[in-house]
Amino acid sequence: MITGKNYIGNQLSSNGDLTYRTFNPKLNIENEHIFYEASSEEIETAVQSATAAFEIYRTISGQKKADFLNTIAEEILALDTELIETYTSETGLPEGRALGERGRTVGQLRTFANLVAEGSWVEAAIDTADPGRTPMPKPDLRKMLIPLGPVVVFGASNFPLAYSTAGGDTAAALAAGCPVIVKSHPMHAGTGELIASAIIAAAKKTGMPDGVFSNLNSSGIEVGTQLVQHPSVKAVGFTGSIRGGRALLDLAAKRPEPIPVFAEMGSINPVVILPKAAQTKGEDLAKTYAQSITLGAGQFCTNPGLILGIKSEALDDFIQTLSNEIIAIEPSCMLHPNIVGNYEKNKTNALQQKGLIKAAEYANELTTNHARQTVTTVEGKAFLENPILHQEVFGPFSMIVQCKDADELVSIVYGLDGQLTGTVLADNEELTTYKDVLDALQNRVGRIIFNGVPTGVEVCPAMLHGGPYPASTDSRFTAVGIHSIKRWVRPFSYQNWPNDVLPDELKNENPLDISRLLNGKQTHNSISYGANVL
Ligand code: NAP
């Protein structure tokens, strides 16, 4: 049941004066529930509870954390229709999308549960002592990953489940052993509260310390700002715009104790269409791309916002087919009037730039809060010279850059900001002929796709969802998949510690039977003193 209150650990609380409601973009009316923005005191209490909970939670076994994560998944499923109805009423997204995103969210929680139950993720490394080494004896050193402390998570508007309250950041941080305080997204506060209630129910059922999770409502930037500046907060996870992520990164860097901000931000996901591909399968590709650009009203971080090709008749045909196809698609509802407003503003701003031409725009009458999908074109030189054309227009928008030759294409790719994805539409031979283009692209992106579309993010260990700045603030990490847990931990070494007080992961007998790097060799073996050291 939605109360509109904050979860300060296990307690519901509504001491603040500021209230707000969410919005149903399909019906173009406010939703019924009133939400209470967290007050300064409530924020302070949430951080203090998380700090106290950390002292217990960081020592909890992998198996118990797994039980907690699996129970969160069950509690989310138990929310059933209330969750799905709230989700659709706060986003305008269809039920099918809500179910799909719920499946992904539950799947992520269970994957992290399996990871921590198995235990080898801590990357235990053991170098046993050699007292006889000359000229200096070698000490016994044992290293593993340990949690950072309380983490603040900001979710994005366009993924109310999978990148939000119990999304990838929260699942990974809880798996790592970090308490989480979520700064709830104002556009889906009801969905956020329901998910928070599932997390709290799971925490109580599995005996987790009070404060391991809090959910704070906010309608503006103040709650998030106070959280990021709080000295007891040790890391931040953010998914959203470049402007928002950058503001939080700067804020965290200015603290007396700077902390990491793992911000996953906007991207225009360049697609390179090479000449033979344009010639042999341009029509099919144009049809596929019309669907990809308009999928979810273009509100995906992997939306193909930029298509780069070399001038030719085949490229002209591709543009023509894409234009015809895109205007035949029925527009979808966007998440919120503000998102529609920003889409129109950013599109108008782009279209005011020298050289950008509108190739096609949906022209029929529109329902409120729906967006007109748009395709534009520009010459390579104009694109190269104008950084405004490189900015994300969040929505069903794409720009086709017509390069005069392969050299111009390479310089454009080199000049791009960091991106989540890059796509190459080519025939196999062109992968060799245009090696320079591909090398340039690899340098700018986190994931490269061959003859496909960038939309659709598979959740698996080999997925990299991130990329050079500004796609993310730290390109060494992924925001999706099990390796995203590494954002919330630090390596820690014990030197010459007695075996019985070491964590189980590092004990001689390897009681958890995890894989460890033992004297340079990856193994499940235990260490037996008295006989040979393995
Ligand atoms: P947003 O406007 O940046 O908001 C994200 C969250 O950050 C909100 O809770 C917002 O709070 C908060 N925030 C924004 N600016 C802030 C500031 N200066 N100080 C403190 N808090 C701040 O983004 P959005 O509209 O929700 O999401 C759309 C964007 O997310 C798109 O650019 C999309 O490409 C990107 N995205 C990226 C990924 C990825 O994995 N890379 C995934 C999904 C979406 P308030 O709303 O209360 O201000």
Q: Which residue, 103, 55, 469, 65, is CA-closest to 263? A: 469
pLDDT digits (tens, 9 = 90+) for 119-166: 999 999 999 999 999 999 999 999 999 999 999 999 999 999 999 999
pLDDT band, very low/low/confident/very high, at 530 (cuts 50, 70, 90) = low
User: Average pLDDT, stretch 325-347?
Assistant: 97
pLDDT digit string (tens) for 263-295?
999 999 999 999 999 999 999 999 999 999 999
Q: Which residue has the tokens 């794409």?
A: 398
Largest CA distance in the chain: 84
Query: How does pLDDT run across 50-101, given as a tens digit for each residue?
Result: 999 999 999 999 999 999 999 999 999 999 999 999 999 999 999 999 999 9
CA–CA gap between residue 106 and residue 74 (Å, rounded): 8
Measured CA to CA, the distance from residue 247 to residue 40 in angstroms comes to 20
Other beta carbons within 10 Å of 456: 11
pLDDT the model gives residue 519: 97
Q: Could you tell me how many residues make up the chain?
A: 534
For residue 531, what pLDDT is reported?
44
Separation of alpha carbons 143 and 273, rounded Å: 47
pLDDT for residue 38 is more than 80: yes
| Cα–Cα distance, 480 to 488 (Å, whole number) | 13
Secondary structure E strands in 296-409: 306-310, 357-361, 374-379, 397-403
Token couple for 8: 């300060």
Q: How far apart are CA 164 and CA 180, in angstroms?
A: 12
| Mean pLDDT, all residues of the chain | 97
Which tokens in the block code for residue 530?
């008295």
Ligand 1 centroid to residue 168 C-alpha, Å: 15
pLDDT of the residue at 528? 86
3-state secondary structure of 420: strand
Give the model's pLDDT for residue 529: 72
Closest residue by Cα to atom 9, ligand 1, is 185
Residues with CB under 6 A from ligand 1: 154, 156-159, 163, 183, 185-186, 218-221, 224-225, 239-241, 244, 247-248, 264-267, 301, 392, 394, 420, 465, 479
Say which residue the tokens 């700018």 belong to: 444
Q: Whose CA is nearest to atom 35 of ligand 1?
A: 240
Residues 6+ apart with CB under 8 A from 328: 290
Whether residue 532 is predicted with pLDDT greater than 50 in this model: the reply is no
**Predicted pLDDT of residue 478:** 98
CA of 127 to the centre of ligand 1 (A): 44
Q: How many angstroms separate the alpha carbon of residue 243 from the centre of ligand 1?
A: 8
Residue pLDDT, tens place only, 442-483? 999 999 999 999 999 999 999 999 999 999 999 999 999 999
State residue 187's pLDDT score. 97
Instruction: Write down the catalytic residue from 37, 101, 193, 264.
Output: 264
Tokens 């030759």 sit at which residue?
405
**10 CA distance to ligand 1 middle (Å):** 27
301 in active site: yes
CA distances from 35 to 187, 227, 273, 474, 482 (A): 11, 19, 47, 34, 33
Q: Answer whether 425's CB lies under 8 Å from 275's CB.
A: no
What's the CA gap between 246 and 252, in Å, rounded? 10
Per-residue pLDDT tens over the stretch 363-422? 999 999 999 999 999 999 999 999 999 999 999 999 999 999 999 999 999 999 999 999
Is this model's pTM higher than 0.75 or not? yes
User: Sorting pLDDT into bands at 50, 70 and 90, what band is 533?
Assistant: very low
What are 183's strand-pairing partners?
154, 216
Residue 85: active-site member: no
